[in-house]
Amino acid sequence: MNFISDNANGADPRILDALTKANSGAVLSYGGDPGTARLQARFGALFGRAVTSFPVVSGTAANALALATLTPPHGLIFCHARSHIMMAECGAVEFHSHGARLVGVEGENCKIDARALAAAIDAVPRNFAHSMQPATVTLSQSTELGTVYAPAEVRAIADICHARGLKLHMDGARFANALAYLDVAPAQASWECGVDVLSFGASKGGALAAEAVIFFDAPDASDFMYRRKKAGHLISKMRFVSAQLEAYVEDGLWLGNAAHANAMAAQLAQGLKNAPDVRLTAPVQTNMVFADIPTALAMRLREGGAIFHDWGSTGKDRVTIRLVTSFATPQTDVAKVIELAGG
Ligand SMILES: Cc1ncc(COP(=O)(O)O)c(C=O)c1O
């Protein structure tokens, strides 16, 4: 019963099959293969406009290289104060951008508050050699709490960015989960509401190791290929990364997997809500459940075989736990946790 993270499970067998298919014959290396070209066209069809896409093998690389491409060394990148990029990427953005700085902005449920964002940007002196300059905003969709920005909320943030000459990046490590929740087309949750560049995640949704950086305006991508190579992310056997992504978006595999993960979290949330002395601490919109429970119950869940992270504490004898579901979470595991909790 593993609820540690959505990358704790292996890969979707359909993606493994695609890798076996991609294994035959010799093709051009470093992304010159037909599958990588096909992928770019497929992303174009998926998003309803021409895109410039680059496969990479980790979400951290996708975020750091995308943001470094958009941001000069003297640039400021605004993000949520508790976003993954701020808390858990070991300064990769600062490293790859040669010194750009992350600025944390508050907002409920891990979503950037638009007014706080505008105030933070406007507080920076412009055209002043002593101050780093606002360049980029990045938001996570879905967020690190599993919450989702409505397209209108993304549009509000994009308008703030664009009115001030900043670009908007979206960390879509869990873009599929957000889309499954919103039930809108990929375009509606990205470029149509003002996103300039998307880190399109696949590893958490069933790939082995594959993400793509998707630029919606080709000029923004102009030096990405050099940055990717310099960072060691231009994989020579790129056909295997592209094959994972192609299979991921084919026939709705990605959205089907995300819908399953979301449904498992919804069931878990419903069951835990009915359990004695359990309080959900964030809205459950995608594949994460945060619950404030007695430490004795956390121990009982672990003794019963559940694996999960603690996520802080709200007081003596209480702990907040994080349960993450995935494309591979069996319904029986969800039922067992609910039973152990007395829900
Ligand atoms: C929101 C978010 N963005 C980016 C990443 C980074 O992905 P990776 O672990 O592949 O570098 C993660 C991983 O947990 C994540 O949760």
> Residues 19-44: pLDDT tens digits?
999 999 999 999 999 999 999 999 99
| Ligand 1 atom nearest to CA at 171 | 3
What average pLDDT score do residues 83-110 get? 97
CB 246, CB 42: distance < 8 Å: yes
| Ligand 1 atom nearest to CA at 59 | 7
CB 14, CB 247: distance < 8 Å: yes
Q: Identify which of 58, 60, 93 to mutate to test ligand 1's pocket (most ligand atoms within 8 A of the CB).
A: 60
Q: Identify which of 5, 65, 84, 141 to mutate to test ligand 1's pocket (most ligand atoms within 8 A of the CB).
A: 84
Dihedral sign, Cα of residue 272, residue 329, residue 172, residue 251: negative
State if residue 52 touches ligand 1 by the CB under 6 angstroms criterion.
no
**DSSP state letter for 139:** E
Distance of CA 336 to the CA centre of its chain: 28
Q: What confidence score (pLDDT) does residue 77 get?
A: 98
* 314 or 256, which is more confident: 256
Angle between helices 238-249 and 253-273 (to 10 degrees): 60
Q: What confidence score (pLDDT) does residue 316 get?
A: 85
Q: What confidence score (pLDDT) does residue 37 get?
A: 96
The total of other beta-carbon atoms located within 10 Å of residue 151's CB is: 19
* 343 or 148, which is more confident: 148
Quote the ligand 1 centre to 118 CA distance (angstroms): 26
The total of other beta-carbon atoms located within 10 Å of residue 210's CB is: 28
Closest of 278, 208, 282, 298 to residue 245, by C-alpha: 208
Q: Look up the pTM and report it.
A: 0.97
Catalogue the E-assigned strands of 51-172.
52-56, 75-80, 101-105, 133-140, 167-172
What average pLDDT score do residues 143-150 get? 98
Quote the ligand 1 centre to 152 CA distance (angstroms): 24
Q: Between the CA of residue 106 and those of 82, 120, 208, 223, what are the distances in Å? A: 8, 10, 33, 31
